[in-house]
Amino acid sequence: MEITTEMIKELREATKAGVLDCRKALESSNGDYQKAVDFLREKGMATAAKRADRQASNGIVELYSHGNGRVGVMVEVNCETDFVARAEQFRKFAHEVALQVAAAAPKYIKEEDIPADVFEHEVGIAKARALEEGKPEAILEKIAHGRVEKFKDEVVLMRQAYIRDDKVTVGKLMLEQIAALGENIVIRRFARWELGEVSE
């Protein structure tokens, strides 16, 4: 199939990828627009993964108040340069992360942040629950593993389903931003307060 300038232009406007990358994506997908978009996204994810070890010390502290001051969130999101830190797309991403924290109340950023005792406690609860439900002992480990994975999806920010699109995790959303902005991005830390809650 012939790849036209119009096809390249349309793909470029949608993905913000370079002209040559758009042409290559369209050629590799035989002119199929959706496959070309997927090709560019996968390429972007691979590029984003390569950038993950680069130093990110600029950025923004995003503050968000929800429900007339009933929930408050503070998130630090870092990038490599001051230029990107001032970019509207980066600031929008930081705001989306703050919204996510307000709505989904994660406890940890990455699953490695879950303390070992909390993890073991969840495994114990999952096994006890499965036993109580009369599940065979031979499959207790498998059931416990599945329930612990579900627990991680709920409490780990990077594994949570993005509030605006549940087919995308926050981690994948961040990789898309890294690919689009061309810099490493790190969600450094967050704090969430809810009116009337008692500190643990």
Please indicate, yes or no, whether residues 72 and 99 belong to a single structural domain of this protein: yes
pTM to 2 decimal places:
0.71
Residue 200, in any domain of the structure: no
Mean pLDDT of 63-75: 94
Number of Cβ within 10 Å of residue 142's Cβ equals 11
Please indicate, yes or no, whether residues 97 and 176 belong to a single structural domain of this protein: yes
Total domains in the fold of the chain: 3
Please indicate, yes or no, whether residues 104 and 12 belong to a single structural domain of this protein: no
Please indicate, yes or no, whether residues 67 and 105 belong to a single structural domain of this protein: yes
Which domain, by its residues, includes 81? 58-109+156-194
Helices (H), the chain: 5-15, 19-28, 33-51, 82-85, 88-104, 116-132, 140-155, 170-181
Mean pLDDT of 74-92: 94
Please indicate, yes or no, whether residues 79 and 175 belong to a single structural domain of this protein: yes
> Tens of pLDDT along 29-51?
888 887 887 787 777 655 555 55
CATH number of the domain that 20 lies in?
A: 1.10.8.10
Please indicate, yes or no, whether residues 100 and 83 belong to a single structural domain of this protein: yes
CATH number of the domain that 145 lies in?
A: 1.10.286.20
Give 199's pLDDT tier (boundaries 50, 70, 90).
Answer: low
Please indicate, yes or no, whether residues 24 and 122 belong to a single structural domain of this protein: no
Mean pLDDT of 94-99: 97
Retrieve residue 71's tokens. 């929930």
* Highest-pLDDT range among 42-56, 87-101, 138-152: 87-101
Retrieve residue 63's tokens. 């503050």
> Tens of pLDDT along 103-135?
999 999 999 999 999 989 998 898 888 888 888
